[in-house]
Amino acid sequence: MSRALYRLSAPLAALGRSALGLLAAIGRVTLYAFEALSHIFRPPFYPREFAAALLNVGWLSLPVVGLTALFTGGALALQIHAGGERFSAEAVVPQIVAIGIVRELGPVLVGLMIAARVTSSIAAEIATMRVTEQIDALVTLSTHPMKYLTAPRLLAGLLVVPALVAVGDVIGIYGGFLVSTGSLGFAPGSYIQNTWDFLTRADIASSLAKGAAFGFIATLMGCYHGMQSGRGAQGVGRATKASVEAAAVLILAANFLLTNIFFAA
Amino acid sequence: MIELIGVHKGFGAKQVLRGVDLSIARGESMVVIGGSGTGKSVLLKCILGLLEPDAGRILLDGQDVREAERDAFLARFGMLFQGGALFDSLPVWQNVAFRLLRGRLKRPRAEAREIAVEKLRRVGLGPEVADLLPAELSGGMQKRVGLARAIAAEPEIIFFDEPTTGLDPIMAGVINELIREIVTEMGATAMTITHDMSSVRAIADKVAMLHAGKIRWSGPVAQMDASGDPYLDQFIHGRAEGPIETLR
């Protein structure tokens, strides 16, 4: 009787353990995020670390962000034109490309590219520092790892990813413009005018706000998982993988939430 | 100067330190020996506050280290890590002068570099090394740079974690001599953890053996060979047979 009861309850117990584990992880990440944010505003500050993070998160991500946006904008224009043809709505290509890129694809794709490029590199770097005792060395040299490693990266993510999203939006729209004017027969002047007339300030603000949120998530996940790394090469690998997975899922979830906040009437 | 009273530390079900009592006098060079996995590094990290003991007290000049102001406390310490723990992204001189470039000991950049080059010279490295990255150095050179970093801010207390691990016997001898010289000329209090007996004989004023989570034996290095303790005898002579269980 008791064995049968045990068999029945085992899956429920496993489910309960997973749920508790998930809640504990959310709690740990939240506390880590609040502590990291508080260090952004409290001295000492490390301007060189911040400048290096700006360079890594922002400037060095430009090529991958630009190419992603360019190809996506072009493909989007082709899709809208092909789909619009079915009910004689080809003329809306500039408007739909603009709204699609600025509201959704620009921020989301930039966020995912940052998760792939920056989150992974932050996690691997900090995890390696953890494994090779460089984090302990920082502490013995009277330097708070949260201030020196996490705060500059978080601040860079918050500030520079919106700028990357803006660049991505412009290049994405330009990709649509190139395809539309080059092979779909649109006139350049009217394409630009239609795009400009259709976009609102709220579209642009939502795009930049999403960029800030995604930049925060991407850098936070890199730092958090790097700091939590286990031992050895396997520990570094696991931390890197977990950071990218968590960043990508959280970015998509945050995108849904923010879209709801901005556009659900 | 440093006193440990009944220090306990465990990780999950595994109890590593089971009541460590140890005292180190000012200016003394204490070497803690013990087999791999006996908790030597854990002991050292507990003193530095990198790990929180589960029970017991650690006093520095009579004050509980948990009550000390953290920055002021750490400013008294220098540490040489087992693998060097040099910061990959910084050139050698910035590693050495790390403490002098930020925080309460901050100096102008040019002065910090000058001090770093001088400390590098002290550990036998020329100024041409200053602008290299740690990855461009051999293991022995990395240890020397780590040593230069440990002494850069002229700390009162220096910890050495397995200072000769991974080095050939000649380089190990050079590092041991350097540590002894530097500790003597600075008048620093030193605590070294190692299982290298040549390091023990070169560096130690006093020796403590950690076994089964407690200090098994401690005394002056000159008395180590005649201690009469079968555990210590087995360890210092590297015998497979004896009271310390070995895996085969």
Q: What's the mean pLDDT when you consider all of chain A?
A: 93
Tell me, yes or no, whether B120 lies in a domain: no
> pLDDT for B170-185, tens place per residue?
888 888 888 888 888 8
Cross-chain residue pair B104–A132, CB shorter than 8 Å: no
The residue to which tokens 């060095």 are assigned: A60
User: Are the beta carbons of A142 and B85 separated by less than 8 Å?
Assistant: no
Residue A18 belongs to some domain of the structure = no
In a domain, A114, yes or no: yes
- B149 CA: distance to closest CA in chain A (Å): 9
Q: Please state, in angstroms and rounded to a whole number, the distance separating the CA atoms of residues B101 and B110.
A: 10
A141, A143, A146, A227, best to mutate vs chain B, most B CBs in 10 Å: A141
Task: Establish if A23 belongs to a structural domain.
Answer: no
Is residue A10 in a domain? no
pLDDT in tens, A151-191: 999 999 999 999 999 999 999 999 999 999 999 999 999 99
Note whether residue B69 is domain-resident: yes
Q: Total domain count for chain B?
A: 1
Can you give the pLDDT at residue A1? 56
What is the domain range of residue A165? Answer: 52-263
Please, what sign has the CA dihedral across residues B224, B227, B232, B237? positive
Domain that holds residue B12: 1-76+160-166+190-242
Its ipTM equals 0.87
- What pLDDT is stored for residue A265 in this prediction? 63
Q: Do B88 and A134 touch (CB under 8 A)?
A: yes
Structural domain contains residue A145: yes
**Contact between B85 and A141 using a beta-carbon 8 Å cutoff:** no
Q: Is residue B43, in this structure, part of any structural domain at all?
A: yes
Q: Smallest CA–CA separation between B104 and chain A, in Å?
A: 9
| Predicted pLDDT of residue B248 | 53
d(Cα A59, Cα A161) in Å, to the nearest integer? 10
Residue B132 lies in a domain: no
Query: Which residues from B are below 8 Å from A141, CB to CB?
Result: 74, 98-99, 149
- CATH number of the structural domain spanning residue B63: 3.40.50.300
Kindly list the residues of chain B whose beta carbon comes within 8 Å of any beta carbon in chain A: 45, 48-50, 70-71, 74-75, 77-79, 81-83, 85-89, 98-99, 102-105, 149
3-state helix, strand and coil shares in percent for chain A, rounded to the nearest 5: 90, 0, 10
Q: Is residue B171 part of a domain?
A: no
- Mean pLDDT for B53-74 is 89
Residue A27 lies in a domain: no
Neighbours of B175 (CB within 10 A): 25
Contacts of B45 in chain A (CB under 8 A): 136
> Is pLDDT at A110 greater than 60 in this prediction?
yes
Position B25 in a domain: yes
pLDDT mean over B152-162: 91
CB B143 within 8 A of CB B160: no
- Residue A138 forms part of a structural domain: yes
> Which member of A52, A128, A142 has the closest CB to residue B99?
A142
Tally the domains of chain A. 1
Distance from CA of B163 to the nearest CA of A (A): 14
Beta bridge partners of B80: B160
Give the mean pLDDT of B204-223.
93
Q: In what order do the strands lie in the sheet with B214-220?
A: B77-80, B157-161, B189-194, B29-33, B206-211, B214-220
How many A-B residue pairs are in contact by the CB < 8 A criterion?
51
